[in-house]
Amino acid sequence: MSKILIRGAKVLGGEPQDVLIDGSEIAAVGSGLSAEGAEVVEADGKVLLPGLVDLHTHLREPGREDSETVLTGTRAAASGGYTAVFAMANTFPVADTAGVVEQVYRLGQEHGYCDVQPIGAVTVGLEGKKLAELGAMHESAAGVTVFSDDGKCVDDAVIMRRALEYVKAFGGVVAQHAQEPRLTEGAQMNEGVVSAELGLGGWPAVAEESIIARDVLLAEHVGSRVHICHLSTAGSVEIVRWAKSRGIDVTAEVTPHHLLLTDELVRSYNPVYKVNPPLRTERDVMALREALADGTIDIVATDHAPHPHEDKDCEWAAAAMGMVGLETALSVVQQTMVETGLLDWAGVADRMSFRPAGIGRAQGHGRPVSAGEPANLTLVDTAYRGAVDPAGFASRSRNTPYEGRELPGRVTHTWLRGRATLVDGKLA
Amino acid sequence: MQRHLISAADLTRDDAVLILDTAEEMARVADRPIKKLPTLRGRTVVNLFFEDSTRTRISFEAAEKRLSADVINFTAKGSSVSKGESLKDTAQTLEAMGVDAVVIRHGASGAPYRLATSGWIDAAVINAGDGTHQHPTQALLDAFTMRRRLVGRDAGLGQDLAGRRITLVGDILHSRVARSNVDLLHTLGAEVTLVAPPTLVPVGVESWPCEVSYDLDSTLSKSDAVMLLRVQRERMNAAFFPTEREYSRRYGLDGDRMAKMPEHAIVMHPGPMVRGMEITAEVADSERCTAIEQVTNGVSIRMAVLYLLLGGNEPAVTHTRTEEK
Ligand SMILES: [Zn+2]
């Protein structure tokens, strides 16, 4: 069995401690631990976090391997400090059967960079008409617990109700991409002052808010839990806050880009800023940060959406929607939440590991950094400052909105069950 | 150094007045027996039209030919342009042919801006209408028409439109003409009022330098010019308004309404006019309607823009907005 001693790491941002990994588990946490027989990682001043968990990743395999594969996507995840990612179902074929989810799950296990928990489609082919075999996906080797038609909204209220009810049988959760389809026909960006000026089709906040309002009421009525994907508006925050105060079992996620970027960037007509839901206003950004800090928004999820260069190197209207995010997420959270004083590192661990693992019921992830727990860990050099250079990304696609932007923090080490997947910033 | 005309908002007051003054000079060429200047001899201009617009293309083509440019018309309609990369591919093909200027019409807002700023091409880019965003030469020819009618052909030289009250009526939401006109008329000192049913006014309009009204009748007596915008009948099916008749009753310009306008006030239309719904034949055919003059003025304005971008010694048209971003 291999032993690793992480020496002098600020565990969850606290006082420096030593953490001893033995095999796949954490053997001890304390000060002055013996380094005998162990490889030593000097972590002086760095922050040690539980391995990050992303509830919203697009790995593109099967079907769009030119954008990303399970291998390249999980390497990107390990680079970003993740030890588990939930892979969205909008692949080709759609992950709407036990066969497809098992394939994706097994690829993740084989490659070994990061656990891949497939998300099953709610409806067959993401068409919103007929429930997919939710139970079979749950019972498969992949053990699916999260279901989503992400990319599309489950807009039929009856289908949504049935899905919410059905997954109660095995503790599942429906993750909704809240987008009223009629209100967003032809939508290209946030509807507001900037869209009015640029003459781009508007995606109004109310198209998100009306679906969230409906779905929390449905969840209440049938006694289920619902998860809101990539919540992006101040109004959505108010609805979720109200729902939680009423005891409705709702959780919500925010993406790093919605915590940092605004629709003013669309003035460049550069499709690297084209994303769904769209970048909103400064007011929304501030509301999202506060909601993440006070727990109204439970987690940060990347919505990592890789696209090949040609799908972005064109005019705005023709460009694909989405941004890559796994490798920059923690840096954006450090800048927007930690350095603003809204969250401490324990809070980051909560929003990026404990809670997402809890919502997705990810076994062995999102556990405390203490003896006897699986050694899923991430070491962060929080003092680092540097400009983002997509050329160094492990992701197959480079559609990042942060190229050339200075962001703080850098993940130096990631361990998956005691095995290093990232060492000194390099993939193992 | 690249010089482009992408948006009416890129023009300063002095740029715009210079273009209008230059257009007056160009208009005199049209009165000569030989309507041609040697200015752009040996320069190649491409009319790159991804969207059908015979009127605008012919207007640019006439302007280019009067300035002796070599003209290539590229109509992408019918060819495979469903993939976005075709704009880049097409642009680079034209670049390889040594094109000096590209006049681009595109259905996607921002396509000319992308063309001018993405490093795909070195040629000057002139926006001939992009999606629902901008159509700067249309705004310039409208301003030119107003200045001639409201200030005077010679008296207008060097003048802007300070204090003139202009009302734009119709589908503001989908109109690049409205966006361009609001920007340019504001720069020229005019007071602009937009009139439309609330469904055809964009969310976010409150940041525009103009007034918004839902009531046409209350604005007429205070207007020096009333500009009618195209309202497509299919908007009715998308529930932007109930019926053609109701639209016409509330926002159409007929003889009775025209009579409420001040005597000197003009009626403008970018064409083609849909008679009956937005304008009655009586108004369209009246002395006060400038629709035909606007077509004539369009050629002069486009000559002036091409001349200043490609032939003029001084950089008459700046692109500050491009550089700021
Ligand atoms: Zn989504």
The answer to whether residues A18 and A77 belong to one domain is no
Does the annotation mark A303 as catalytic?
yes
CATH label of the domain that carries residue A418: 2.30.40.10
Q: Taking residues A178-201, what's their average pLDDT? A: 97
Q: What is the mean pLDDT of each run of 10 residues along chain B (325 residues)?
A: 83 96 92 88 94 93 96 75 68 89 95 92 95 97 98 95 97 96 98 97 96 97 96 85 92 95 96 85 94 96 95 47 36
Return phi, psi of residue A374, to 5°: -60, 140
d(CA A133, CA B243): 46
Percent of chain A having pLDDT more than 70?
100
Facing residues of B130 across strands? B106, B134
Structural domains in chain B, CATH included, are 4-135+295-311 (3.40.50.1370), 136-290 (3.40.50.1370)
Q: What is the DSSP string of A79-148?
A: HTTEEEEEEPS-SSS-S-SHHHHHHHHHHHHHH-SSEEEEPBPSBGGG-SSSB--HHHHHHSTT---EE-
Assess if residue A56 is contained within a domain: yes
Q: Are residues A38 and A76 in the same domain?
A: no
Domain annotation covers residue A397? no
Residue-wise pLDDT for A364-377, tens only, equals 999 999 999 999 99
Answer yes or no: are the C-beta atoms of B180 and B134 closer than 8 Å: yes
pLDDT (tens digit per residue) in A121-166: 999 999 999 999 999 999 999 999 999 999 999 999 999 999 999 9
- The answer to whether residue A65 sits within a structural domain is yes
Q: For position A171, which CATH number holds?
A: 3.20.20.140
Would you say residue A401 lies in a domain?
no
Check residues A352 and B1 and name the one with the higher pLDDT.
A352
User: Are A32 and A74 part of one and the same domain?
Assistant: no
A2: confidence class by pLDDT, cuts 50, 70, 90: confident
Q: What is the dihedral of CA B54, B56, B62, B63, to 10 degrees?
A: -170
Please check whether residues A384 and A294 belong to one and the same domain. Answer: no
Separation of CA A90 and ligand 1 centre (Å)? 10
Token readout for B100 is: 């000096």
pLDDT band, residue A107 (cuts 50/70/90): very high
Residue-level pLDDT at B313: 54
Tokens of A363: 């076994």
CB contact under 8 A, B202 and A196: yes
- Judge: B114–A188 Cβ closer than 8 Å, yes or no: no
Residues A146 and A32 in one domain: no
A111 with A227, same domain: the answer is yes
Residue A26: strand pairing partners: A21
**Which domain range does residue A244 map to?**
51-360
Which residues of chain B are at the A interface, by a Cβ-Cβ cutoff of 8 Å? 83-85, 87-88, 106-111, 113-114, 117-118, 130-134, 176, 179, 202-208, 325
Considering CB atoms only, which of B110, B176, B203 is closest to A196?
B203
Residue B2 has a pLDDT of: 45
Q: What is the pLDDT of residue B77?
A: 63
Mutate to test the interface with B, among A198, A315, A321 (most CBs of B within 10 A): A315
Q: What is the rounded CA–CA span in Å between residue B200 and residue B255?
A: 24
pLDDT at site B318:
39
Residues A338, A298 within the same domain:
yes
Domains of chain A: total: 2
Measure in Å the smallest separation between the Cα of B154 and chain A Cα atoms.
34
Report yes or no on A398 lying in a domain.
no
The reply to whether A395 falls in a domain is no
Instruction: Give how far B186 is from chain A: nearest CA, Å.
Output: 14
Residues A63 and A43 in one domain: no
Q: Which residues of A touch B85 (CB under 8 A)?
A: 310, 313-314, 318
- pTM greater than the 0.90 cutoff: yes
Instruction: Answer whether residue A366 is part of any domain.
Output: no
Give the per-residue pLDDT at B75. Answer: 84
Dmax (CA) of chain A: 66
pLDDT of residue B322: 38
A303, A313, A381, A424: the catalytic one is A303
Asked whether residue A251 is domain-assigned, the answer is yes
pLDDT digits (tens, 9 = 90+) for A191-209: 999 999 999 999 999 999 9
> Do residues A24 and A73 share a domain?
no
pLDDT on residue B106: 94
Are A58 and A10 found together in one domain? no
User: Does residue A418 share a domain with residue A300?
Assistant: no
A35 and A108 share one domain: no
pLDDT in tens, A216-266: 999 999 999 999 999 999 999 999 999 999 999 999 999 999 999 999 999
For the record, the structure tokens of B183 come out as 């920007």
Find the residue in A nearest to B85 (Cα).
Answer: A314
Per-residue pLDDT at A46 exceeds 50: yes
Predicted pLDDT at B324: 35
Ligand 1 ion: Cβ-proximal residues, 5 Å cutoff:
A 150, 177
Q: Kindly tell me the burial class for residue A136, based on how many C-beta atoms sit within 10 Å of its own C-beta (0-12, 13-18, 19 or more).
A: middle
